[in-house]
Structures are given as C-alpha cells and as structure tokens.
Amino acid sequence: MRDFSDAYGAPFALISNPTTAQHSVVLSCSADASLVDPVQVDTWVAYWGQWLAGLAYEPGLVSASVSIESAPDTGERLRKEVLGNIDPSAPDLARAVLNQVMYDYPLGSAEITSRVVLTYAEREYGARGGVADMAAEIGTRLPGLAGGLGMTGAGPAEPMTAGELAEMVRVVYDPEVGVLVDQAHDGADFALRWDEAGAIAAQEGWDHYRHDGAFSITWSMTDAPRGKVFSTVLSRMVALQPDIVRKRVTLLYRPHSPSESARLVERDHKDALFRARQARIAQARDSVDLRAADQSAREEATGAGLVRFCC
C-alpha cells in the first residue's frame, strides 16, 4: 500500500496485489438515511442506479463493493470534541450537563461507517501498467467518482489514506484496539504502518476465524430476493446487535460492459420465454421470471446498466 495524490492534489491510498495485478482504492462515506422523506430516498436510489450503470464505462474497473459497518461507539471522539470547545467561564449547570452527555451518550449508541472500494485491473492498460501509472490513471477519475456518490445518499465521499486504512484494518482484527487508536490521536503524532495492521495471531476453524481474541463468521447470499426489493431491505441487517461486537454487511458488484449487457439480457429473456412456453401448466415462478426478464431487457435498451451482485 502506497500513498498518491489525485487530480485535485488530495491524498489517497492504493492497495496493490502483485499476484492478480489489481489495484484498489477505498472511499470513506457518511451515509445517513434517518428521518428522510420517501421522495428523497427514491431520488437517492435512482442516482445510485445511475452511478452503478456508469461503472461499466470505467476503463479497467473490474469490481466495486460497498461495506456498512456497525460497532459500539467508543465515545472518545465526542469527549475530545466537548473538551476542546468547552468554555472555562461557562455556568456550572451547563458544564455539568455537557459532562453528563459526554459520558452517558456513547453508552448503547452505534457507530455506523460506510466505505466504497473500487478495484482496477492492470491488464487493461497494457504496456503502461505499473503501480505509479495506475495511480495516475485512477487519480484522474477518482474525484468524479467520489463526487457522484454525493447524490446517492452516501454523503461526502473522501479517499482514505494509508494511515487511515491501516488503523481500520487493525481495529477489525482486534476490536478492543479501537479505544486505544482514538486515544492515540489526542494531540499526539500517531501513525500506524501497513505492516502493523494485521493480526498478531490467527487460527482458522471450520465455521469461524479467530484473530487476536475475536472471532469472525461470514454468511454469504445464496440467492437473490425474488420479490420486490425496497430501500429498507438491509435495515435490520446493518443494525447493531448486542451479541455481535462489530457487524459488516458488504455488497459486491461486477459491472458488465454495454455490449455484454445487451447480449445477456436478450439471452435471459429468451430462456425465460422458452421455459414459460414449455410448461404444460403455467407456473407462477416462470411467469415472474418472464416478466422480470422482459423488464430487464426494456430497461437495458433505454440505457440502464447490468451489474452482477452478491452479499
């Protein structure tokens, strides 16, 4: 992992995998869908679909992922904010109220973070490949991609630096370090290196992964929902649970090129039509599949993109 600068001079970290010749950049977002009118949510969903469709025209982009992580709030950031702005000459009652809020508010509250990861393949650039050249190519398009996320409800999107990514990975391996990391930033020059971000000790099991005193278990989606999918479908999944220290819900996207999209939707439409006509007795599942395939073909013909996804 190395730090580079985008077209506007903002720093961003580039994670390179020499084995697959792929490079990833992480965007930190501030998504918040609480107390939002349904009309605004519909607008966000429409712009999110437009943003995903635009990924098909990104040269070299092979995948994108969105991660929503929920964890108990350590309260350190709130304490630093209050202590840094409190007035010594303030009334005693006001100071007492602030002190009570500072210590009681973090109890039971959740810290929700959202990140978007974009992965590019070096093979798309031929002889111009290389970490520095890939960083230059990605840096020119990164401000536009980050700016487009602002209309999707993701809030301000900013590229994460190498130090921020190292801290994030270290806390993921050992959640108890989160409080220490927040305290280390209190007026100190603290920087965690990438080679210090991994687990000190780890052990794999059949149904879990143990690392630094914590256990990780992963569930993956086996089939997409067959009914209508509303904007609140993941609300319960991303909500904080008392028996889980940190929860992370990740959606993986692999966009198809426009030519592949047209070919795939037409093939799916023909397959669904063939199954519906072959059955002697019409089945509800075949009818639903045919309507969905027909709708996908019409939307693709009017400019919509086609993206593979999993959760």
The per-residue pLDDT for 262 is 81
Query: Worst-scoring range by mean pLDDT, 19-23, 138-142, 273-277?
Result: 273-277
Bigger pLDDT: 106 vs 286: 286
Report phi then psi at 210, rounded to 5: -95, 130
Separation of CA 276 from chain center: 38
Asked if the model's pLDDT at residue 67 lies above 90, the reply is yes
Give residue 216's pLDDT band: very low, low, confident or very high (50, 70, 90). Answer: very high
Asked if the model's pLDDT at residue 154 lies above 80, the reply is yes
Question: Which band of pLDDT confidence, cut at 50, 70 and 90, is reported for residue 23?
Answer: very high
Strands 209-211 and 214-216: antiparallel
Q: What is the pLDDT of residues 52-65, one digit of tens each?
A: 988 988 888 999 99
Q: What is the largest CA-CA distance in the chain?
A: 84
- Whether residue 111 contacts residue 71, with contact meaning beta carbons closer than 8 Å, is answered with yes
Predicted confidence (pLDDT) per residue in 94-124, tens digit: 888 887 777 776 655 677 889 999 999 887 6
pLDDT mean over 243-264: 86
End-to-end CA distance of the chain: 26
Question: Per the confidence metrics, is the pTM higher than 0.85?
Answer: no
pLDDT band at 128; cut points 50, 70, 90: low
Least confident of 62-76, 193-207, 293-307: 293-307
Is the CB of residue 309 less than 8 Å from the CB of residue 251?
Answer: yes
Q: What is the pLDDT of residue 108?
A: 58
pLDDT, mean of residues 259-274: 80
Q: Taking phi first (over 0 means left), then psi (-120 to 50 degrees means alpha), and beta for anything else, what does residue 216 get?
A: beta
The mean per-residue pLDDT over the stretch 69-92 comes to: 77
In this prediction, residues 192-220 reach a mean pLDDT of 89
Give the helix/strand (H/E) hosting 216: strand 214-216
Whether residue 127 is predicted with pLDDT greater than 50 in this model: the reply is no
